[in-house]
Amino acid sequence: MNKSFLTAFAAPFVAGLALSVCATTAMAAGKTSIVVGADTTFPPFETEVNGKVSGFDIDMIEAIAKAEGLTITLKTMPFNGIIPSLQAGSIDAAVAGITIKTSRMQSVNFSDAYYKSGLSVLVKDNSKIKDFADLKGHVIATKKATSSVDYMTAHGIKPEYIKQFQDIDTAYQALETGGADAVVFDNPVNVNFKTAHPGVKVVGDLLTGEYYGIAVSKKDPELAAKINDGLAKIKKSGEYHQLFVKYFGGDVSGAVNAVEKPADVAVKD
């Protein structure tokens, strides 16, 4: 076999190898632009007014993206569409006050925890309901497909007494208009509603201790690590703390200052 033939044979192989190396390097570098899903019916974490999306989670994911050199495109959707969208690959990540749960970890990855929350009971001021134990036999409103539904059914509330709504605002409206006797939902959201609406109150102790995380598609295992890196950076820079000043009046009871890994804080269900 002569030298010129070997050269001719080897050239396309070397070129193909070079292209393969370049492609591998590009993949290792990861995405620079991601689509982030958000449910905008979860104030003060996400809300939408006149087409403008804002909230604690929105500012946080934008700060994380900036710290990591990522650009994001927001895609709004109902809460119960988030995990299917992540599984389908139509979004890369999602923020929606999503509780880190063992069942959800089968379908999506999670970032480190960024907010500590829990469920609470909201009733009218004149209600005789004093705590969760008093709820049996009463109609309770909440948001569809959330951990509040799981908690109530696991603790003796019959499904026919649970009114599930597509958004939490409609659940609150049911309470105010007499369509429900109580709302069971995430405490920071209940407190936010109570602050703006005289005539309602939070009763009893927090029902759960749960953590919110940023959900990430399993199709991109490197993205969760990037998001964690960005979260650590905004904590160090003080931007994370400033979000608590902006959205919670400086109340940092929900702040997660230590690194809390999803597997360590996931709600077992």
Is 2 contained in some domain?
A: no
Mean pLDDT by 10 residues, the chain (269 residues): 42 41 39 94 93 97 98 96 97 97 97 96 97 97 95 97 96 98 96 91 93 96 96 98 92 92 93
Is 26 contained in some domain?
A: no
Residue type at 169 in one-letter notation: D
**pLDDT score for 17:** 38
Is 269 contained in some domain?
A: no
DSSP letter for each residue of 210-224? EEE--EE-TT-HHHH
**pLDDT score for 240:** 98
Same domain for 73 and 187, yes or no, is no
Is 56 contained in some domain?
A: yes
**pLDDT score for 195:** 86
Distance set, CA 150 to CA 40, 99, 139, 162 (Å): 22, 12, 16, 11
**pLDDT score for 100:** 97
Same domain for 124 and 139, yes or no, is yes
From 180, 203, 226, give the residue that closes a domain: 203
**pLDDT score for 158:** 97
Pairing of strands 215-216, 41-42: unpaired
Is 96 contained in some domain?
A: yes
Give the Cα separation of 94 and 39 in Å (integer): 9
Same domain for 245 and 197, yes or no, is no
DSSP letter for each residue of 130-160? -SGGGGTTS-EEEETTSHHHHHHHHTT--GG
Look up the CATH number of the domain holding residue 236: 3.40.190.10
**pLDDT score for 251:** 83
Same domain for 93 and 156, yes or no, is no
Provide the residue range defining the domain that includes 144: 119-203
For the chain, how many structural domains are there in total? 2
Tokens of 143: 């948001």
Same domain for 146 and 222, yes or no, is no
**pLDDT score for 250:** 86
Same domain for 168 and 39, yes or no, is no
From 185, 203, 221, give the residue that closes a domain: 203
Is 225 contained in some domain?
A: yes
Q: Give the Cα-Cα-Cα angle 93, 54, 80 (nearest 5 degrees).
A: 45
**pLDDT score for 30:** 64
Same domain for 53 and 88, yes or no, is yes
**pLDDT score for 239:** 98
Same domain for 112 and 134, yes or no, is no
Same domain for 89 and 68, yes or no, is yes
Same domain for 109 and 217, yes or no, is yes
Is 22 contained in some domain?
A: no
